[in-house]
Amino acid sequence: MAGKIRKIATEEAFSIPEVARELQKVARAPGDSADLPLVKGIYDAQPGYGDMKFLDGLLDIEGKRLREMDEYGVDIQLLSLTAPGVQMFDADTACELATLANDRLAEVISRHPARFAGLAAFAPQSPKRAAKEMERAIGKLHLNGFIVNSHTNNEYFDDPKFWPILEAAEALDRCIYIHPRAPSEGLKGPLREYGMDSAMWAYGVEVGTHAVRMMASGLFDRFPKLKICIGHMGEAVHFWIWRITFMNSRAQVMRRAPKTQLTMEEYFKRNFVITTSGVEDPLALDYSVRKLGADNVLWAIDYPYQPTAPAVAFMDAAPLSDADKAKVYHRNAERIFHIKPA
Ligand code: 1DF
Ligand code: MN
């Protein structure tokens, strides 16, 4: 390809001081959540994640981040409030901070409309207020979609209590990015040792479980146009999808799972897109594009948790046609997240 190809990175994390301060309180409160190692490390300077200086990178948007984007030719970062977002707070605090984070995000985008886009946070603790904030975030702030960090108080989107959120996303025609957080109470036990309660393994187990629960519950029959994005090369769900589909139809025959109009594979292809965040493996990319189609795979860095240079080098060297590379690098992000083509 002769000209420079537009690069839109789609899972790029930021925070604001007010959310960071509230997470420091979470770090100091008693609790046993699997998110605490990361929260204590990043927000309360305890050994571990804090050593990586992620907090500086999260709070900075217009300084080093923008310079690094320039250096590696990243045109746009689609920003999202970093995990666990507002989902560890009480409902009132969560609603308030989601609103504040969305306002700040809209401000920074208005200063750099050609460089940043953004996913709106909301508080699943209060689904009705969440739906209102979602409407405001699209209608008034013109943000590009939504971010949620998997479970909230150990509950998942197949629970009907969350339907106002899914209704809002579908009605607004905006995708919900289901980003990881550490696993829920019921999942965390054997994932605690050896650093496995992290992006090494547990994040994928958590979000993969969330995605399969949604498909197997039949909720996509109620919300056929709902779009869900999952990162980390689809959290491996499509690598398993043949077996998920086969065994789900068996579970349906045994009446252990609800009857669904479509198969699990059909839901995954219709209702999900995936991103490449944090997986720079050309074989995994090749499989993903062939299995799901080049229209359903989006490029991401996972800044500041992953470095920019190798994420760009990976996609530049990817074994894809120029047309497919343009889809993964920017066209799919433009379509799914309503980002104006250059
Ligand atoms: C980590 C990874 C942290 C991802 C993240 O947000 C995150 C990490 C707190 O490695 O500690 O977004 N990730 O998406 O892989
Ligand atoms: Mn991430």
Listed by start position, the domains of the chain span 8-336
Q: Per the confidence metrics, is the pTM higher than 0.85?
A: yes
Measure the N-to-C terminal CA separation of the chain; round to a whole number of Å: 17
CA Rg value for the chain: 19
| Distance between Cα 52 and ligand 1 center (Å) | 12
Place of tokens 């507002």: 86
Rounded CA separation 240/242 (Å): 6
Q: Tell me what pLDDT residue 175 has.
A: 99
Q: Residue 283's closest CA among 230, 320, 244, 235?
A: 320
For the cut 80, the answer to whether the pLDDT of residue 284 exceeds it is yes
Q: pLDDT-based confidence at 3, cuts 50/70/90?
A: low
Rounded CA separation 244/238 (Å): 9
Residues above pLDDT 90, as percent of the chain: 96
pLDDT digits (tens, 9 = 90+) for 233-247: 999 999 999 999 999
Task: Please tell me the CATH code under which domain 8-336 is placed.
Answer: 3.20.20.140
pLDDT digits (tens, 9 = 90+) for 72-108: 999 999 999 999 999 999 999 999 999 999 999 999 9
How buried is 182 (Cβ within 10 angstroms: 0-12 exposed, 13-18 middle, 19+ buried)? Answer: buried
Rounded CA separation 249/313 (Å): 41
Is 302 catalytic? The answer is: yes
pLDDT digits (tens, 9 = 90+) for 263-275: 999 999 999 999 9
Catalytic residue chosen out of the listed positions 302, 316, 322, 324: 302
Q: pLDDT-based confidence at 51, cuts 50/70/90?
A: confident
Starting from the edge strand earliest in sequence, which strands make up the sheet with 297-298, in order?
8-14, 76-81, 116-120, 145-149, 176-179, 228-230, 272-275, 297-298
Is there an atom of ligand 1 within 6 Å of 83 CB?
yes
Q: Tell me what pLDDT residue 2 has.
A: 46
**Which whole number is the average pLDDT over 291-299?**
98
For the cut 80, the answer to whether the pLDDT of residue 25 exceeds it is yes
